Amino acid sequence: MVDLKVGDTYRCPEDHKAKIVWINKEKKVIAVKCKHKHLSKIVKVPDRNKSMLRPGRYPTRDKKIYAKNTVFLIKL
Ligand SMILES: [Zn+2]
């Protein structure tokens, strides 16, 4: 088993280089903080580029929301 320390570099679930910020006592769970962008959620936003096809129905598009500095818990 690899001896991990807080501050070491570890791969986040999306395969970026992330930093270990916390390790549990049994060394079974670690928290890594990644400063890269991660897809957080997709929301519907009004789309003004599309013309209204049906009255009373507003055109929408999916907008991707990205989160930075995400902390992941990883089971070893
Ligand atoms: Zn990442």
pLDDT at 2: 64
The answer to whether residue 1 sits within a structural domain is no
The answer to whether residue 3 sits within a structural domain is no
pLDDT digits (tens, 9 = 90+) for 12-64: 999 999 999 999 999 999 999 999 999 999 999 988 877 666 667 778 899 99
CA of 54 to the centre of ligand 1 (A): 41
- What is the extent of the structural domain holding 21? 9-75
* Count of the separate structural domains present in the chain: 1
Angle at 72 between CA 68 and CA 76, to 5 degrees: 150
pLDDT at 55: 67
pLDDT at 30: 96
The answer to whether residue 4 sits within a structural domain is no
Query: 24 is written with which tokens?
Result: 């549990």
pLDDT at 75: 94
Please tell me the pTM assigned to this model. Answer: 0.72
Closest CA to 66 of 43, 33, 32: 43
CA of 33 to the centre of ligand 1 (A): 8
From residue 47, alpha-carbon distances to 27, 50, 51, 62 in Å are 48, 6, 9, 9
